[in-house]
Amino acid sequence: YAIDRSTDTERIFDIDANTGAIVTGKVLDRETAGWHNITVLAMEADNHSQVSRASLRIRILDVNDNPPELATPYEAAVCEDAKPGQLIQTISVVDRDEPQGGHRFYFTLAPEAINNHHFSLLDVKDNTAAVHTQRVGFNRQEQDVYLLPILVVDSGPPALSSTGTLTIRVCGCDSTGAIQSCNSTAYAMSATLSPGALIALLVCVLILIVLVLLILTLKRHHKSHLTSEDDEDMRDNVIKYNDEGGGEQDTEAYDMSALRSLYDFSEIKGGDGGGGPGEGGNPASERHALPQWVQSPDLDFSVFRDYICRKVEQADEDLSVPPYDSFQTYAFEGSDSPVPSLSSINTWSSGSEQDFSYLGGWGPRFRQLAALYAGRRGEEDSEES
């Protein structure tokens, strides 16, 4: 005898080759497979070519090896204004075993819930149980969730049991007893966002980022525009002339109105009301206004001459100021000036004007120059004599 292994690939059964007795090769589980179909081969001992086949159906009998369990993970709700004895949940169980006399289950509260004074469990005797309230009203501000452990026992043999937990939530209800809201539901709704809400939130964040970047860009552009305008104003104030004039009195080669518009000298008198040169006025707070420029050779430039002389005297007397801190250049020679011209043309044209001793009266800065030229003039006279 032999078993066709194509019908018993897991080798659950074995057969005695001489007697044909079939035995189990592995542990059987009715809940996994309640029937097995195998093929048995019978052959002659002297001639193995003489073979016959027989199909064999094997039924696995059940034993009570699985405990009963709650049919689902039950969750119940109770109203805050519930009355004692109000039904809130009906409990049922499942058992994978199939006893010959049918199922019979027993319900009771687990030992850890014996002292429970909020809910009661009633065995209805039809393999179900009912959960009722035991108190008047609930307050979800104090406690919004109750856990009720339930013990379920089957009829065996042997009797097996298991413990399941019923979750009871306290909710707000209307006058008809319909549930309006529960804390857990509100928390779940606040913690879970739908895909549409997430997309809307992301779009709002992106729009906010774009607006911030746009504002920063506009501010930077506006700042650079103002800077460029300031630079342009500074460049517009630079006026350059490369004309070669006809002399010191020639004012026709350039536009005096353009130069005059760039300077505005105002007169600020010192605290002691200082007047002319040498009166002890404050050099730092005294300025004289220049007269308006007109192209007339008969104009009196005494005011401008007094202004230059005063500035020269102030600069000579203020020896505490470093030279690089106050650099002043005066390049105007007005008419009726008591100081003769230093032009090289005038110098060569008249030999009587070669006496430079008058330079000593111009101040300390010209005394060295006067001494230099006076000494050179004395050497020339001695050589001629």
Dihedral over alpha carbons 275, 280, 284, 287 (to 10 degrees): 10
At 176 the pLDDT is 84
Cα(320)–Cα(284) distance, integer angstroms: 13
pLDDT of residue 211: 93
Give me the long-range contacts of 20-25 (CB less than 8 A, separation at least 24).
Answer: 22/56, 22/58
The dihedral built from the CA positions of residue 171, 173, 179 and 181, taken in this order, carries a sign that is negative
pLDDT of residue 36: 93
Give the helix, strand, coil percentages of the chain, each rounded to 5.
30, 20, 50
Do the beta carbons of residue 311 and residue 328 sit within 8 Å? yes
Dist CA 335 CA 297 (whole Å) = 7
Strand order in the sheet with 119-123: 69-70, 87-94, 128-133, 119-123
Residue 161 burial (10 A CB sphere; 0-12, 13-18, 19+)? middle
Say which residue the tokens 């020679």 belong to: 333
Q: Alpha-carbon distance 248 to 214, whole Å? A: 60
Asked if residue 55 lies in contact with residue 37, where contact means CB atoms within 8 angstroms, the answer is yes
Q: In a structure prediction context, what are the per-residue pLDDT tens digits for the chain, which is 385 residues long?
A: 899 999 999 999 999 999 999 999 999 888 888 899 999 999 988 888 889 999 999 998 888 888 999 988 889 999 999 999 999 999 999 998 888 778 899 999 999 988 888 999 999 999 999 999 999 989 888 888 999 999 999 988 889 999 999 999 999 888 888 888 886 544 444 445 678 888 888 999 999 999 999 999 888 887 766 655 555 555 455 555 565 555 555 555 555 555 554 444 444 344 444 444 444 444 444 444 444 444 445 556 677 778 888 887 887 777 766 665 555 565 555 555 555 555 444 444 444 445 666 666 677 777 777 777 666 555 555 555 5
250: its two tokens:
């020639």
- Closest listed residue to residue 27, CA positions, set 12, 37, 5: 12
Residue holding tokens 């006058």? 175
What's residue 375's pLDDT? Answer: 64
pLDDT at 22: 92
Tokens of 127: 């393999």
DSSP state of 335: T
Closest CA to 3 of 47, 46, 36: 36
Q: For the full predicted model, state whether its pTM sits above 0.85.
A: no
